[in-house]
Amino acid sequence: MIKKFLLGLGGLFALLIAVVLFRTFSYGGQLEGVQSVELPEPPVIDGTRAAENLGAAIRFPTITLVGGDPRPGREGPWLDMQAWMEATYPAFHAAATKETIPGGYSLLFTWTGSDSALDPILLMAHQDVVPVNMGTESDWEAPAFSGEIKNGYVYGRGAIDDKGSMVGLLEALDALARDGFAPKRTILLMLGHD
């Protein structure tokens, strides 16, 4: 009984492999109705400068404890980081309009495209980080807000979640603006704060 079951299972597996192989080798590689698009040369981004800028962004302790942060009197790091972004990425700031979302410190940038019939693209990241769990400070490779670069890595709170994304987007958009790129589709960049 078990032998017949295993033989049947083996046969089904062999049939599955045969179908997959047939479909793989008979695929023509052409998709109907898909047009190729000529892409521009990507902008040159200085990786060392980008890492240094990420380290600088990490040094702003934009900590969110609960919804609605920063509370009155604690908005300094947010405002300082936003001023730093404007000074560090001047080409993008010149190409886009910036709005502060009412009731907070979230920013919405609009880089208007030449074809208003096209839907816009939305890129998003957030400026805040969560606090370090008390008692874990000694477990860190570097202090949480040092932005230290060592062994090819940038260390600190937000390096991955999510200041890394924020700085990566700003680096790319600033490089495009510096190179004179003019988008056909409107580009929206939302930098949330909580």
Residue 152 lies in a domain: yes
For residue 123, how many C-alpha atoms fall within 13 Å in the half-sphere facing its CB? 18
Domain count, the chain: 1
Q: Is the pTM of this model over 0.85?
A: no
Residue 183 lies in a domain: yes
Question: What does pLDDT average to over the chain?
Answer: 91
Which tokens is 48 given? 């060392």
Cα Rg for the chain, rounded, in angstroms?
A: 24
Q: Between 73 and 179, whose confidence is greater? A: 179
Question: How far from the centroid of its chain's Cα atoms is residue 85's Cα?
Answer: 15
Residue 115 lies in a domain: yes
- Measured torsion, CA atoms of residues 95, 97, 101, 107, in degrees rounded to the nearest 10: 10
Whether the CB-CB separation of 154 and 54 falls below 8 Å is answered with yes
Residue 123 lies in a domain: yes
Residue 1 lies in a domain: no
Dump pLDDT digits (tens) for 137-161.
899 999 999 999 999 999 999 999 9
Residue 186 lies in a domain: yes
Residue 133 lies in a domain: yes
Percent of the chain with pLDDT over 90: 65
Domain span holding position 142: 47-192
Which has the closest alpha carbon to 147: 53, 47, 58?
A: 58
Spatial separation of the C-alpha atoms in residues 65 and 38, rounded to whole Å: 45
pLDDT of residue 31 exceeding 80, the answer is no
Phi, psi of 109 (to 5 degrees): -105, 140
Rounded mean pLDDT, 6-30 = 81
Residue 122 lies in a domain: yes
Which has the closest alpha carbon to 94: 155, 16, 160, 178?
A: 178
Which tokens is 164 given? 């890394």
Rounded mean pLDDT, 161-189 = 97
Question: In this structure, what CATH number is given to the domain that contains residue 91?
Answer: 3.40.630.10
- Measured torsion, CA atoms of residues 175, 177, 182, 183, in degrees rounded to the nearest 10: 60
Dump pLDDT digits (tens) for 80-94.
999 999 999 999 999
pLDDT of 68 reads 66
Dump pLDDT digits (tens) for 93-129.
999 999 999 877 899 999 999 999 999 999 999 999 9
